[in-house]
Amino acid sequence: MALACGLDFGTSNSTVGWLPGGSFQPGASALLDLEDGKATLPSVVFFNADDEQVSYGRAALLDYLEGYEGRLMRSLKSLLGTSLIDGQTEVAGRALPFKALLGQFIGEVKRRAERQAGREFGSAVFGRPVFFIDDDLEADRRAQDTLEEVARSVGFREISFQYEPIAAAFDYESQIEREELVLIADIGGGTSDFSLVRLGPGRAGRAERRDDILANGGVHIGGTDFDKYLSLASVMPLLGYGSSLRSGAAIPSSYYFNLATWHTINQAYTRKSVAQLADLVRDCSEPAKLVRLQNLIDERAGHWLAIQVEAAKIGLSGSPAFTMNLDRLAPPETLSVTREGFEAAIAQLVDSVGATVLRLFSEAGVEPDAVDTVFLTGGSSGVSLLRERIAALVPRARRVEGDLFGSIGAGLALDALRKYG
């Protein structure tokens, strides 16, 4: 049996990979079931104030949507490397440090994986984005150090890290029969990460793979950013975004940006924010919209709204239009969004991702036409405009779809076997 596991703590979903036979078995999944027979556990925690219980994953989202009083926390990984990680939030009238919150979730992932595997995991390879934070190496180092600190606090004794796109590369390599130059495109909830790697059966057994990795690159743009800009472009104007005070000054955008960003939604519920909003309602030019915003905040329905936006984003990946049923707004609203409008909202983000890929080729000294395969993984790789942009940059490459949520965890399991036996 493999001694260690691979843990993919994702912005939106988390997985654990393990090779019980001590080697890769073709056709077999390396992922452990973490919730109701599923390998993914949404990275969500709900503190239920009604019965003082904590729920995780899909169960947490269900508790929240069923209307239990409490606090929902999502996109926890986005806190790493930011100043928020050293702060705290209020849960059931008590202060909870954000590091402790991460520890609760990662500890729960560890317990579920161990229960499924029937053994303890004291060693693990954790996935990490190429950059937790863009253009700030010190913040990036702090982010990894914090994740290691949290992992040790829940019982992992030996910890190493692997870039998430490299882990996905190892998973893809286990499936191929000839050598290829591969662009790994991992479009996750919080980051878009890329690696240019030489892969093949003859290279797979090597303990040292540094020479096979031609370049790594990434940018702090992912699915939660696409949600944010779709929300700002389509939903937030219903709540007063873009409107003005009677003086002509613009309504502060902070309310809307907080509600449109998964890991800052709870900041809209602070006493200070609520009091300031009450003052704005009395002095705005479109009070009905601000009252609707007030009602949403009073009901703490920000995560519900974000879930509707996320569903629209996913729907637009397969359809040119999507209808959102915003029945918890007062008054209720039906809102149609189009792929064209969504793509206009995220165009600047996609441009940044494309520029990141071009820098990768420049750093590697490789022409895009030399790439044999582009391997797409990550839950946000289904966004049509982004897929088209990446495909256009490597026109001769064939496109391979990985397991959107499982390739990284499976690859981390392979890396854990190599590193720990």
Question: Burial level of 248, CB count in 10 A (0-12/13-18/19+)?
Answer: exposed
What is the structure's pLDDT at 70? 87
Alpha helix locations (H) across 154-241? Answer: 164-173, 201-204, 223-230
What average pLDDT does the structure give for the chain? 93
Name the nearest CA neighbour of 384 among 310, 311, 306, 319. Answer: 319
Rounded CA-CA distance 211/204 in Å is 13
Q: What is the pLDDT of residue 206?
A: 75
Select the more confidently predicted residue: 95 or 326.
326
Which stretches within 176-253 are classed as H helix? 201-204, 223-230
Residue 173 near residue 204 (C-beta atoms within 8 A): yes
pLDDT (0 to 100) of residue 49: 84
Q: Which residue has the higher pLDDT, 204 or 262?
A: 262
- pLDDT top residue among 24 and 374: 374
In sequence order, the 6+-apart residues with CB closer than 8 A to the CB of 145 are: none
Could you read off the pLDDT of 266-321 as tens digits, one per residue? 899 988 999 999 999 999 999 999 999 999 999 999 999 999 999 999 999 999 99
Other CB atoms within 10 A of residue 324 CB: 18
- Contacts of residue 302, defined as CB under 8 A and 6 or more positions apart, other chains included, come to 258, 259, 265, 266, 268, 269, 296
Residues 398-417: what's their mean pLDDT? 92
Which pLDDT does position 193 carry in this prediction? 94
Question: How big is the chain by its Cα radius of gyration, in Å?
Answer: 22
Q: What pLDDT score was predicted for residue 2?
A: 84
Residue 27 has pLDDT above 70, yes or no: no
Confidence label for 209 from pLDDT (cuts 50, 70 and 90): confident
DSSP summary character for residue 22? S
- Structure-block tokens of residue 199: 């892969």
Q: Are 311 and 227 in contact (CB under 8 A)?
A: no
Q: CA separation (Å) from 230 to 291, 306, 327, 419?
A: 22, 10, 18, 42
b vs e for 221-242, b when ≥16 Cβ sit within 10 Å of the residue's Cβ? bbbbbbbbbbbbbbbbebbbbe
Model pLDDT for residues 31-87, shown as the tens digit of each residue = 999 999 999 999 999 999 877 899 999 999 999 998 888 889 999 999 999 998 999
Per residue in 337-364, pLDDT tens?
999 999 999 999 999 999 999 999 999 9
Residue 24 has pLDDT above 70, yes or no: no
Average pLDDT value for residue range 193-199:
95
Helix (H, G, I), strand (E, B) or coil at 5: strand
> Is the N-terminal amide bond of 331 cis, ω within 30° of 0?
yes
For residues 239 and 222, give the distance between their C-alpha atoms in angstroms, rounded to a whole number: 25
pLDDT in tens, 155-180: 999 999 999 999 999 999 988 999 99
pLDDT band at 1 (very low <50, low <70, confident <90, very high): confident
Torsion of CA 87, 160, 169, 24, to 10 degrees: -130
Percent of residues, the chain, with pLDDT higher than 70: 98
Handedness of CA 276, 277, 283, 284 (dihedral sign): positive
Q: If you average pLDDT over residues 326-330, what whole number do you get?
A: 93
What is the mean pLDDT of the segment spanning 191-200? 94
Q: Checking DSSP bridges between strand 123-128 and strand 158-163, what pairing results, if any? A: parallel
Element (H, E) at 163: strand 158-163
pLDDT of amino acid 230 = 98
Answer yes or no: are the C-beta atoms of 375 and 333 closer than 8 Å: no
Q: What pLDDT, on the 0 to 100 scale, is given for residue 334?
A: 96
User: In which band, very low, low, confident or very high, does the pLDDT at 26 lie, cut at 50, 70 and 90?
Assistant: low
Cβ atoms of 395 and 371 within 8 Å: the answer is no
pLDDT class for 94, splitting at 50, 70, 90? confident
Q: How far is it between the farthest Cα atoms of the chain?
A: 70
Predicted local distance difference test score (pLDDT) of residue 124: 98
Residue 187's alpha-carbon distances to 175, 274, 281, in angstroms, are: 21, 35, 39
